[in-house]
Chain A
Amino acid sequence: MDPVSILLGGFASGMVLFIVSVGLSVTMGLMGFVNLAHGGFAMLGGYVIVLAMKHWGLPFLPALALAFFAVAAFSVLLERLLYARLYRAGELDQVLFTIGLVFVMTATVTLGVGPETQVVQLPDWLRGQTDLGFIKYRTYSLALIAAGTALVIALWLGFERTRFGARIRAAVDNRRMAQSLGVDVGRLFAVTFAIGSGLAAVGGGMGAEILGLDPNYPLRYLVYFLIVVSVGGLGRVTGVFYAALLIGVLDFVFKIYFPKGGTIFIYALTLILLLWRPQGLFGKRGI
Chain B
Amino acid sequence: MITKRKLTLALAATCFAAASASAQTVKIGVVLPYSGVGAEFAQQIDRGMQTFMKLNPNAFGTYKIEIVKRDSKNPSGAEAKTAVQELIVQEKVDILTGFIYSPDAIASAPLATEAKKPMVIMNAGTAWITNLSPMISRVSFSMWHSGFAMGEAAAKNLKAKTAVVGYTDYPPGKDSLDAFKRGFESAGGKTIDEIPLGGPGQVPDFTPFFQRAKDRKPDVFYVFVPSGDHAVAVMKTYNALGMRQAGIKLVGPGDLTPDHKLQAMGDDAVGLITIHHYNADLGNPQNKRFVESWKKDFGAASTPDFMGVQGYDGMAAIAHVVTTLKGKIDPDAAINALRGWKYDSPRGPISIDPRTRDIVMNEYLSELVKSGGRLVQKNLGTINAVKDMCKELQEGRCK
Contact = CB atoms under 8 A, between A and B. Distances in A.
Interface of A: 1-2, 5-6, 9, 12-13, 110, 114-117, 119, 127-129, 136, 138-141, 209-212, 214, 216, 220, 251-253, 255-257, 259-260, 262
B215 A1 contact: yes
A11 to B, nearest CB: 12
Interface string B226-240: 001100110010011
Contacts of B63: none
- For the complex of A and B, the 6 pairs showing the least CB-CB separation, nearest first, are A255-B208, A117-B229, A115-B39, A138-B240, A212-B203, A256-B212
Nearest to A114: B39
Nearest to A138: B240
B205 A116 contact: no
Interface of B: 35-37, 39-40, 169, 195-199, 202-203, 205, 207-209, 211-212, 215, 228-229, 232-233, 236, 239-242, 245, 264
Contact of B229 (A13, A140, A212, A251): A212
Given A110-B35, A128-B240, A212-B202, A13 B212 contact: no
Query: Among A1, A116, A136, A259, which residue has the most Cβ atoms of chain B within 10 A?
Result: A259
Contact of A115 (B40, B195, B205): B40
Contacts of B207: 9, 12-13, 138, 141, 210, 252
Contact of A210 (B36, B196, B205): B205
Contacts of A140: 240
A150 B193 CA distance: 39
B171 to A, nearest CB: 16
Nearest to A257: B212
Contacts of B202: 212, 216, 220
Contacts of A256: 208-209, 211-212
B205 to A, nearest CB: 5
B240 to A, nearest CB: 5
Given A1-B212, A5-B211, 8 more contacts: A115-B39, A116-B229, A141-B207, A210-B207, A211-B205, A259-B197, A259-B212, A262-B169
A8 to B, nearest CB: 10
Nearest to A115: B39
Given A6-B211, A212-B202, A259 B195 contact: yes
A262 B198 contact: yes
A209 B235 CA distance: 12
Contacts of B229: 116-117, 212, 214
A252 B241 contact: no
B232 A119 contact: yes
Given A115-B36, A252-B208, A255-B208, A136 B242 contact: yes
A7 to B, nearest CB: 11
Contact of B209 (A6, A138, A259): A259
A117 B203 contact: yes
A270 to B, nearest CB: 19
Contacts of B205: 13, 210-211
Given A212-B202, A212-B203, A262-B198, A116 B211 contact: no
6 contacts: A115-B37, A116-B229, A128-B239, A220-B202, A259-B195, A259-B208
Given A212-B233, A220-B202, A127 B208 contact: no
A78 B245 CA distance: 49
A141 B240 CA distance: 9
A119 B264 contact: yes
A128 B239 CA distance: 7
Nearest to A136: B242
Contacts of A259: 195-197, 208-209, 212
Nearest to B202: A220
A108 B196 CA distance: 34
Nearest to B203: A212
Contacts of A252: 207-208
Nearest to A210: B205
B240 A129 contact: yes
Contacts of B212: 1, 256-257, 259
A253 B215 CA distance: 14
Contacts of B211: 1, 5-6, 9, 256
B89 to A, nearest CB: 28
Nearest to A262: B198
Contacts of B236: 209
Contacts of A119: 232, 264
Nearest to A212: B203
Contacts of B198: 262
Contacts of B242: 128-129, 136, 138
Contacts of A9: 207-208, 211
A255 B245 CA distance: 23
A121 B177 CA distance: 32
Residue in B36, B211, B228, B264 with the greatest tally of chain A CB atoms within 10 Å: B211
Nearest to A211: B205
A240 to B, nearest CB: 20
A274 B203 CA distance: 29
Contacts of B36: 115, 216
Most chain A CB atoms below 10 A, which of B196, B199, B240, B242: B240
A9 B215 CA distance: 14
A60 to B, nearest CB: 15
A260 B168 CA distance: 11
Contacts of B233: 212
A91 B264 CA distance: 44
A262 B199 CA distance: 9
Contacts of A136: 242
Contacts of B240: 127-129, 138-141
A2 B40 CA distance: 38
